[in-house]
Amino acid sequence: MISEASRVGTGDDRVVVAPMRRRHLRGVLAIEQQTNHRPWSHGLFLGELRMPTSRSYVVALDRHHVLGFAGLMLTGAEGHITNVAVHPGYWRRHIATRMLLVQFREAVRLGLGELTLEVRMTNTAAQELYRRFGFAPGGVRRNYYSDLKEDALIMWAHGIDTDAGLDRLDRIEDQLPVPLVEEVTGRAR
């Protein structure tokens, strides 16, 4: 579904947010093993990639090394962020922000007005990131992470396709330390 890759450079490295492909799955699975208490399997990711009309998965790459990934599932007029994960060695480098910017813009391009997700109640760092994108608490799924005996906070971002929602994305992008560049045009947004 993602037709364009977005490129950012951070000093000597170059981070590209691009559509996830099968060739990326080894790196995706390595990150999944480190960051998810119940990691998705290779087969599950393959299944998601086989549904391009209802799924959008991106990876953050430094050359060919996968640094992170994020998923978006379309469910009618809304979308669901299925996962956002970054290799722990690359936390606090705006990688999740970059992937979310690409996913939000893809959601808007597809005509979606709302996004939702679940996040662990104790994952306050992720909740803060999501709040920057306009997500607000909308409920609780009790014992959602049953093996951890932890609830999930359901968060919603409404009006992502409105002027205010698009302005929010522009502000977030403007705050990145290096401009986000669309590979197709080679120009800064």
Place of tokens 């990145």: 176
| Residue 130 designated active-site | yes
User: Is 118 among the catalytic positions?
Assistant: yes
Can you tell me whether residue 17 is helix, strand or coil? strand
| Catalytic choice (118, 128, 144, 145) | 118
* H or E segment to which residue 113 belongs: none
> Hey, how many other C-beta atoms are within 10 angstroms of the C-beta on 104?
25
Secondary structure element (H or E) that encloses residue 120, with its range = strand 114-120
Which one of 32, 90, 114, 130 is the catalytic residue? 130
> Tokens standing for 112?
């979606």
Catalytic residues: 118, 130
